[in-house]
Amino acid sequence: MRRTYLGEFEELVLLMIAILDGQAYGVTVSQEIERHAGRVVTFGAVHNTLIRLEEKGFVSSELGGATTERGGRRKRLFRVTALGNRALADIQQMRDKLWQLMPDNTLRTSTL
């Protein structure tokens, strides 16, 4: 099977979907990325990324219940699939391996 790679923003969105554990939809993903990562993101960027992740098989979605605050419209809720979980585990493993290869003094700041 050919491996599909994730971009940095796709990884961030996928992580947030996993964190939100069944309560992830475009607005919550955007808000939580801003809150936890300190990164301002547009709803459009998140929406397009959710679609891309679903097309790649990393997430699945289903319509939630209609709510009055949304004018009776239903939310599309996203969940990480088994493939998405595997991708996140692979990314974490690769990053941990690379961090361990870093010499101890590499990140030490020098005083001038």
Predicted confidence at residue 1, as pLDDT, reads 46
Question: Domain-by-domain residue ranges, the chain?
Answer: 8-91
Q: What is the pLDDT of residue 8?
A: 92
- Cα 110 to chain center, whole Å? 34
pLDDT tens digits, one per residue of 67-112: 777 667 788 999 999 999 999 999 999 989 998 998 887 776 655 5
Rounded-to-integer distance, Cα 111 and Cα 48, Å: 44
> 75 by DSSP, 3-state: which?
strand
Taking only the tens place, the pLDDT of each residue in 20-51 is 998 899 899 999 999 999 999 999 999 999 99
pLDDT in the model for residue 112: 54
CATH class of the region 8-91: mainly alpha
CB 50 within 8 A of CB 33: no
**Structure-block tokens of residue 6:** 């994730």
CA distance linking residue 26 with residue 78, whole number of Å: 9
DSSP, collapsed to helix, strand or coil, labels residue 79 as: strand
pLDDT confidence of residue 11: 95
